[in-house]
Amino acid sequence: MEMLLMLPDEIVLEIFSWLPATAIQKFKSASDFFRTMPLEERHFVLKQSHNALLRKDPCFFLQPNSCKKYNAINEFHHFPSEKTSSGVPHNFLKFLENYPACRILASSNGLILGCSTKKNNQTELFISNPSTQSWFLIPTLNHLKEYPDSEINIVFECHSKDFMLFLFEVPAEWASSCYIVKFYSQEEDCFPYLHKKSPYFRPYIMAYTIEDGESRMLRVPKEARRGSHDLSCKMGIYKWGKVTSLDGSMCLVRLRKCIFTIWVLTDYKSCKWKRVLKIRVRAMGIIEEEPITVKGFIVMNGDCLVFATKKKIYRYGLSCENYRVIEEISEHGFDDDEVCFTCYSDTLHLCGDGATTLPLLQQSY
């Protein structure tokens, strides 16, 4: 602490810009000197948010995969080595618990995209920063007004200055072969949307370039297509490679009959994949009673597979440093429910113009 006091303010701010928001708040509460630092000015906030993109996500939210409208439950978990430096305030977790059927849809660069279903069946979307305890209500999208009971498929991408929403609209007609993707940002209500008809029922990946509006279909590996009709087959695509790497790619993860298989896309143009892992769950070194059932999974930070069984959450290394090393993270309370993960990293990122203080102290909504 004494060494920091001896440094010029510019150097101290540079050091602080690399810290998680939780650690910054602890410094501010522990010292009058740090309370006088301009840690809430826009320039510092943008720099801290930008630097956070170069760090690994240290935490995640866990919730049931099928959210009940009036009984949404969220759990928050850390990686074991990150409990003291990162996190969310306890009163934010209480807000998630008390706000009507509050569900986390996505998270990016410290901001959380949340959804709430009121008693009148009205769907409310909002963006919140748990660290700064601020939020920004998003006008209800027309699709959700028209079909309030429809499943919300949305992707949230946030950079140091702006954020964007990708809404996948599922048509009301049963067994329709048409889907719609719409793009929303802070600056514009809606970008031109992608409208695609597909006669295919086998798995494939659709890639869309926002800058020029071009799209293409990426074939998945033949091995991944085999048995994809099996009810036990679950697949997902995730970022692959180090957070600081400029040449990162994506990976395809398939879980079928308690076997994890992971492929990495090595060439985008020719659509070439390389299998990097194939292993039975019970061969990972887990000590649990048989049968071991996986209830949900995700690849975090491009280098580790995180998955939940009926009672516990594990991390399985995929990179050179911790390749095939299994680590128990914690227990969870969802038992037989299928679960989904939402990565989280605490930052000072602004929620946008018009953001207000999160209604943490309200007891009823």
For helices 9-16 and 42-52, give the axis angle rounded to 10 degrees.
Answer: 40
Instruction: Return the pLDDT at 186.
Output: 60
Q: Per the structure block, which two tokens stand in for 14?
A: 């540079």
CB atoms within 10 A of CB 79: 20
Q: Per the structure block, which two tokens stand in for 25?
A: 């708040």
Distances (CA, A) of 177 to 78, 180, 214, 236, 248: 40, 11, 20, 21, 32
Per DSSP, the three-state class of 78 is strand
Distances (CA, A) of 123 to 101, 106, 126, 266: 10, 16, 10, 40
Name residues of the chain where pLDDT drops below 70. Answer: 1-2, 4-5, 66-72, 84, 160, 170-202, 243-246, 360-365
For 30, the enclosing helix (H) or strand (E) is helix 21-30
- pTM for this one? 0.85
For 216, the enclosing helix (H) or strand (E) is strand 215-218
For 342, the enclosing helix (H) or strand (E) is strand 339-344
User: Which residues are within 8 A (CB) of 137 and not within 5 positions of it... i.e. 6 or more apart?
Assistant: 124, 125, 126
Contact present, 294 and 309 (Cβ < 8 Å): yes
For 261, the enclosing helix (H) or strand (E) is strand 259-267
Instruction: Return the pLDDT at 170.
Output: 63
Instruction: Return the pLDDT at 325.
Output: 95
What CA–CA distance (Å, rounded) separates 79 from 328?
A: 9
107-116 pLDDT, tens digit each = 999 999 998 8
Instruction: Return the pLDDT at 139.
Output: 81
DSSP one-letter string for 279-330: EEGGGGT---PSSP---EEEEETTTEEEEE-SSEEEEEE-SSTTTT-EEEEE
For 24, the enclosing helix (H) or strand (E) is helix 21-30
